[in-house]
Chains A and B, each alone.
Chain A
Amino acid sequence: MMLCRTLPAEFAVADFDRVEAKNLLSQTYTRQSVGKNKAEALRLQLRTFYEVDVASYPVRLTDQNIAQVAAGAMLLVDCLDNALGRHVVLAHARAAGIASVHAGLAADGTFGLVRWGERFTPDAEDEPGQATCEGGEHLPFIGLVAAGVAGAVRDFVRDGTRRDAIITLAGLTVGG
Chain B
Amino acid sequence: MAILNITYQGRSADAPTPLDDRTSDADVRRIAVELVRAGLAGLVAPGLSATAFRHFVVDRFADPDGVVRIYLRPKVPFGADG
Contacts and interface: CB of A to CB of B under 8 A. Distances in A.
Interface of A: 1-3, 26-28, 79-83, 103-108, 110-113, 119, 122-126, 130, 132-133, 142-143, 145-150, 166, 168-170, 173, 175-176
Interface of B: 5, 7, 9-12, 55, 57, 59, 61, 63, 69, 71, 73-82
B67 to A, nearest CB: 11
Given A105-B76, A166-B71, 17 more contacts: A79-B81, A103-B80, A104-B80, A105-B79, A106-B76, A106-B78, A107-B74, A107-B75, A107-B77, A111-B10, A113-B73, A119-B59, A119-B61, A149-B80, A166-B73, A168-B12, A176-B69
A103 B79 contact: yes
A3 B82 CA distance: 7
Contacts of B10: 110-111, 168-170
Contact of B80 (A82, A130, A142, A175): A142
Contacts of B63: 175
B27 to A, nearest CB: 20
Query: For B9, B57, B61, B79, which residue has the most chain A Cβ atoms within 10 angstroms?
Result: B79
A113 B7 CA distance: 11
A111 B61 contact: no
Given A111-B74, A123-B57, A166-B7, A104 B79 contact: yes
